[in-house]
Chains A and B, each alone.
Chain A
Amino acid sequence: MKSNDANYIQRLQRKKEDALEYIVDQYLPLMKGITFKVLSPLGNDGIIEECINDIFLSIWEHAHKFAGDSTDFRKWICAIAKFRAVDYYRKHNKLTNLLSQEQEIGTGESAEDELIRMEDRSELIKLIHLLEPVDRDIFIMKFFLGFKTGDIAAKLGLTKASIDNRIYRGKKKLNDKATNLNFGGSML
Chain B
Amino acid sequence: MKDIYELLNDLDIDEHEAVEMEVDELEKAKVKRALKESIIQKRKRRSWRKPVAAAVMVVGLSAATLGLTFPAYAVSLPVIGNIFKFLDVGKVGVYDHYQEYSTEMNLTAESNGIKVIINNAIFDGETVAITYSLETNQDLGESPYLRGLLDMKGSIGGAGGSKITKVDSNRYVGLITETGFFKNEKPDTVKMNWQIEGMVVQENQKEIKGKWSFVFALEATEADTRVVGQSSELDGVTVQIGELSVTPMSFIVHYDQLVSEEIRNKWHGVDVDIEVKDDLGNLYSGKGNGGTGDNKGYHTSWSKTFERLDPNAAKLILTPHIRLYEYTSENFGSAEETKDGPKSAAILEKSGKGQEQFTMEDMVIDLGNLK
Query: A21 to B22, Cβ gap below 8 A?
Result: no
Q: Which residue of B has the minimal Cβ distance to A71?
A: B14
Query: A56 to B31, Cβ gap below 8 A?
Result: yes
Bound CA span A60–B31, Å: 13
Bound CA span A182–B20, Å: 44
Bound CA span A83–B303, Å: 54
Q: 1/0 per residue B16-38: CB within 8 Å of A?
A: 00111111000110111011101
Query: B38 to A137, Cβ gap below 8 A?
Result: no
Query: B39 to A79, Cβ gap below 8 A?
Result: no
Q: Which residue of B has the minimal Cβ distance to A56?
A: B35
Contact of A65 among B9, B14, B35, B36 (CB under 8 A): B9
Considering only residues 155-193 of chain B, those with a C-beta below 8 Å from chain A are none
Contact of A17 among B3, B31, B39 (CB under 8 A): B39
The minimal Cβ–Cβ distance linking B75 to chain A, given in whole angstroms, is 13
Return chain B residues, CB-CB under 8 Å to A72: 9
Query: A34 to B18, Cβ gap below 8 A?
Result: yes
Return chain B residues, CB-CB under 8 Å to A25: 28
Return chain A residues, CB-CB under 8 Å to B18: 30, 33-34, 37, 78
Contact of A121 among B4, B36, B39 (CB under 8 A): B4
Q: Does A174 contact B (CB under 8 A)?
A: no
Query: B8 to A140, Cβ gap below 8 A?
Result: yes
Query: A66 to B9, Cβ gap below 8 A?
Result: yes
| Interfacial residues, chain A to chain B (CB-CB below 8 A) | 17, 20-21, 24-25, 28-30, 32-34, 36-37, 49, 52-53, 56-58, 60, 62, 65-68, 72, 74-76, 78-80, 82-83, 121-122, 125-126, 128-129, 136-137, 140-141, 144, 155
Asked, given contacts A57-B35, A75-B14, A137-B11, whether A65 binds B3 with beta carbons under 8 Å apart, the answer is yes
Query: B7 to A53, Cβ gap below 8 A?
Result: no
Q: Does B15 contact A (CB under 8 A)?
A: yes
Return chain B residues, CB-CB under 8 Å to A24: 28, 31-32, 35
Contact of A141 among B11, B19, B23, B36 (CB under 8 A): B11
Return chain B residues, CB-CB under 8 Å to A34: 15, 18
Asked, given contacts A17-B39, A141-B11, whether A129 binds B32 with beta carbons under 8 Å apart, the answer is no
Query: A21 to B13, Cβ gap below 8 A?
Result: no
Asked, given contacts A65-B3, A66-B9, A141-B13, whether A33 binds B38 with beta carbons under 8 Å apart, the answer is no
Q: Which of A17, A52, A79 has the most CB of B within 10 A?
A: A79
Query: B31 to A53, Cβ gap below 8 A?
Result: yes
Return chain B residues, CB-CB under 8 Å to A65: 3, 5-6, 9
Return chain B residues, CB-CB under 8 Å to A68: 9
Bound CA span A125–B3, Å: 7
Bound CA span A65–B6, Å: 6
The minimal Cβ–Cβ distance linking B46 to chain A, given in whole angstroms, is 12
Bound CA span A143–B370, Å: 69
Query: A125 to B28, Cβ gap below 8 A?
Result: no
Q: List 12 A-B contacts (CB under 8 A).
A: A28-B23, A28-B28, A30-B20, A33-B20, A33-B21, A37-B18, A60-B35, A76-B8, A121-B4, A136-B7, A137-B10, A140-B8
Contact of B23 among A29, A58, A137, A155 (CB under 8 A): A29
Contact of A75 among B13, B27, B28, B31 (CB under 8 A): B13
